[in-house]
Structure 1
Amino acid sequence: MIRFGPWSTMLGMAAGFGAVVAVLLLASPGNRVANRLLAALLGVAVLRLMPYVLGFAGFYDAFPWLSFAPFNLGLATGPLLYLYVRRLVEPRLPRGWAWHLAPAALTLAYTTWAFALPLAEKMRWNDTVHVRWIAPVQTWATTLSLAAYLVVTALFHRRYQAWLAGAVGNPADHHQPWLRTLLAALALWLLVAVAFDAVDGLLAPLSYYDRFPQYLAFAAIILGLGLEGWRHAGTAFPVMTASSPPESVSAPARDRDWTAQAGRWRDTIREAGWWREPGLTLAQVAQRLGTNETYLSRALNQGLGRTFSALVNGLRVEAVQARLPTTEPGELLTLALDCGFASKASFNRVFRDHTGMSPSAWRAAQKTESRGFTGNEATADGDAA
């Protein structure tokens, strides 16, 4: 008898919510490819709940032929996470991306084959082969796959953060906790799964009902990912592009005077006023200077000992300092925006990093020094002598 009780209803509501968000992500106009990958990731998570939604409601008792329905595509979770994060911040998917999904495709083919077997053969196959040999391999392969892809994705995210720090003028304004939240959520998913599998394999076999807390945790993760994923569906992340090949020059790059070159480029950036653009990037400046990102970044780092963002923000702080003594307190934000800062928070943070004090404190200190200077200290010392 089919009956939706509190357990099946709770899991079913989470699965339904995740499915709705996945459909919305498919139709989202921004980040189209990335959002489709996120929709697929949510779809895989929703399918993982379905055996328990149907099982607690009595579907498997009423329709035993549902056994081996292709609901478990866990081997796609890690690859979809990795591909989603990369496509969100890169202009295209990595070469050979489809191979990452090959193990999941193999699992789908196997479960579809088993699902199509006549019921008697299906039950015999399950008891003699699947439970003894295939299910354990599938379980731990899924665990190891997700763990490996979490590590690889976290390393890629760290590389993206390092690139962001040197490639955009206001890296702090592009700080997005969504990617960290996504990684943390799937890490939690992994830990919960491993904990229950360890108890099942090492301590005592867990029944269908014993695993309800595990799938309740999965349901909560799906709700969180659905809400945050949809909220960030249109967020524009700075795109990390591959550096251009080094430009052709007569002298080898190692023989260049990077200090002189960086000084010329710094002067050009200052005089052209490019630092006033809040969204200024390393790629844009390299194109305007007639060079490439590799040379520009190397010149700034080796010649000036500064990253691109440090240079640009330093020019902005200099401009603010020149005008700050004559600026009214209520005009401080207007001054910051006029000098290229995208927000008050980033302005205050960058100004403090460069000067060691807040804009207000720096202005007050300048006024104090001006009042304390009389212009005749040398004469006074001579008189005293």
Structure 2
Amino acid sequence: MVNYSASNFLQIAFITLSILGIALLWAQTRFTAMRYLLGATALLMTFNFIEETKVVNLGYLITPSFSLLMGPLFFAVVAQLISASYQQQSKHWVHLVPAAISLLFNHWPQWVLAAGTLSQIVYFSLSIKALIRYQHILPQNRSDANKLRADWVKRILWVLVGVALVDAVRHNLQPYLPTTLLLRWYLVMQLSYFLIVALLVIRAVREPQLFAGLTDGEQALGLSVIEGCDKGKCKADETTQADTLFKELNKQVHSQQLYRLPRLSLRDLAQHTGLGEKDISWAINQGYGSNFNDYVNAQRLADVVSQLDSAKESDSDKKVRLLDIALEAGFNSKSSFNSLFKRHLGMTPSQYLAEKPQ
């Protein structure tokens, strides 16, 4: 009779979660990489279950090779999250070759697991680097940059780096620690991975807009702005041209109230004004002195303050209507509006209404 452990029941839950996630994300091409990650996770937990319970005698270890698989797959998820143009091309499959080759060496599982841990740390670090670059470029293209920053993914990656290091310690201490302690440690590691994957699935299903990503053109434009005039390379005559272009752009933005479009992007603004994306980004960065995201949200904030100051109703009525006014001005959520309001004015909207002279 097979004695099932708590880890085995968690493995069953993990397999169920992975299959459910694949089913929920099946029709959306934006989550191709995540479906591969979930599929690999389901296979890993299946082999874990089989190897530990011995319900089927495989005669050979499979699971160590998965340690070389998870890093590249998670990197692919991050790449698809931040790039709207990312496709699973044949050249990307080369990253999975080490996992396939390692199947020949699973007679020495400790060495394969050590290589897998190193691989994961490298790929998680590359993912963090890509996210930091994305977060620098994002405000140059999107007015809802704060919502799309993917800080939560970066935090997950740091946690994964920590978990990989702790798990490496567990593997190396196995010959020296009591079995009970090792089993509990193993359960905690699996539970950590389970919670991380569950969070990924929940965010992907509930907030798919977070995975919109930037096109190659937007990323190239963002880099050119960051590496260009932002580093003081603009000449005086170019600055004058930028000021003139910005004044014309600002006039159109206000006459058409374009800042009120909730998810306004640089591309949207170019379509409405007839100006080039590169010219708009350059004009805002030089003529306004900040990025696209800051410019658009500053116009929204000015609109809200203007409405609050000019409205004739009582302050209590204004508080009731405050969220409606913010959403009308183009803000996506109450939290982002409150955060921006406090950062620019040094107080919350409620405090502003309370302190404003009657």
Map 1:1-385 to 2 at 5 A. 2-5=1-4, 7=5, 10-29=6-25, 32-33=28-29, 35-49=31-45, 53-59=49-55, 63=57, 65-69=58-62, 72-93=65-86, 96-108=91-103, 110=104, 130-131=107-108, 135-174=109-148, 178-199=152-173, 211-234=182-205, 235-237=208-210, 238-243=212-217, 256=238, 257-325=241-309, 326=311, 327=313, 328-329=317-318, 330-368=320-358
Match in the other structure for 1:373:
none
- Distance (Å, rounded) in 2 between the aligned partners of 1:169 and 1:99: 37
**How much does 1:191 deviate?**
1.9
**How much does 1:260 deviate?**
1.5
**How much does 1:275 deviate?**
0.5
- Distance (Å, rounded) in 2 between the aligned partners of 1:220 and 1:275: 44
> Which residue identity lines up with residue 78 of structure 2 in the other structure?
V
- Distance (Å, rounded) in 1 between the aligned partners of 2:357 and 2:79: 50
Contact 2:262 2:331 in 1 (8 A): yes
TM-score (norm 1): 0.75
- Distance (Å, rounded) in 2 between the aligned partners of 1:230 and 1:314: 34
The 3-state SS of whatever aligns with 1:72 is: helix
Residues 361 and 185 of structure 1: is their aligned pair in 2 closer, same or farther, counting only changes over 3 Å? closer
- Distance (Å, rounded) in 2 between the aligned partners of 1:292 and 1:243: 12
- Distance (Å, rounded) in 2 between the aligned partners of 1:192 and 1:79: 20
Range moving further from structure 2, 90-99 or 328-337: 90-99
Give the unaligned 5+ runs of structure 2: 222-233
Identity %: 24
Range moving further from structure 2, 316-325 or 28-37: 28-37
- Distance (Å, rounded) in 1 between the aligned partners of 2:280 and 2:7: 54
- Distance (Å, rounded) in 1 between the aligned partners of 2:37 and 2:60: 23
**How much does 1:162 deviate?**
2.3
Residues 137 and 334 of structure 1: is their aligned pair in 2 closer, same or farther, counting only changes over 3 Å? same
The 3-state SS of whatever aligns with 1:28 is: helix
Q: Deviations over 1:329-359 (max 9, x none)?
A: 2222221111111222222222222222333
The 3-state SS of whatever aligns with 2:11 is: helix
Q: Deviations over 1:44-94 (max 9, x none)?
A: 44554556544543558xx3x522346632111111111011112322336
- Distance (Å, rounded) in 2 between the aligned partners of 1:30 and 1:164: 27
**How much does 1:182 deviate?**
3.1
Contact 2:22 2:39 in 1 (8 A): no
Contact 1:143 1:194 in 2 (8 A): yes
- Distance (Å, rounded) in 2 between the aligned partners of 1:52 and 1:3: 15
Give the unaligned 5+ runs of structure 1: 112-125, 247-252, 369-385
**How much does 1:207 deviate?**
8.3
Residues 55 and 82 of structure 1: is their aligned pair in 2 closer, same or farther, counting only changes over 3 Å? closer
Residues 233 and 348 of structure 1: is their aligned pair in 2 closer, same or farther, counting only changes over 3 Å? closer
**How much does 1:16 deviate?**
1.5
The 3-state SS of whatever aligns with 2:351 is: helix
Range moving further from structure 2, 176-185 or 314-323: 176-185
Q: Deviations over 1:199-227 (max 9, x none)?
A: 35xxx556877642342123202331343
The 3-state SS of whatever aligns with 1:66 is: coil
Q: Deviations over 1:237-282 (max 9, x none)?
A: 2421123688xxxxxx965321211222122112111101111112
Residues 365 and 185 of structure 1: is their aligned pair in 2 closer, same or farther, counting only changes over 3 Å? closer
Contact 1:48 1:72 in 2 (8 A): no
Contact 1:169 1:280 in 2 (8 A): yes
> Which residue identity lines up with residue 94 of structure 2 in the other structure?
W
- Distance (Å, rounded) in 1 between the aligned partners of 2:201 and 2:321: 37
> Which residue identity lines up with residue 268 of structure 1 in the other structure?
Q
**How much does 1:146 deviate?**
0.4
TM-score (norm 2): 0.80
> Which residue identity lines up with residue 4 of structure 1 in the other structure?
N
Q: Deviations over 1:129-186 (max 9, x none)?
A: x43xxx4542222111101111110111122222333322233334556413531442
Q: Deviations over 1:28-51 (max 9, x none)?
A: 247834544334334444554556
> Which residue identity lines up with residue 152 of structure 1 in the other structure?
L
The structure with more radius of gyration: 1
Contact 2:15 2:45 in 1 (8 A): no
Range moving further from structure 2, 307-316 or 348-357: 348-357
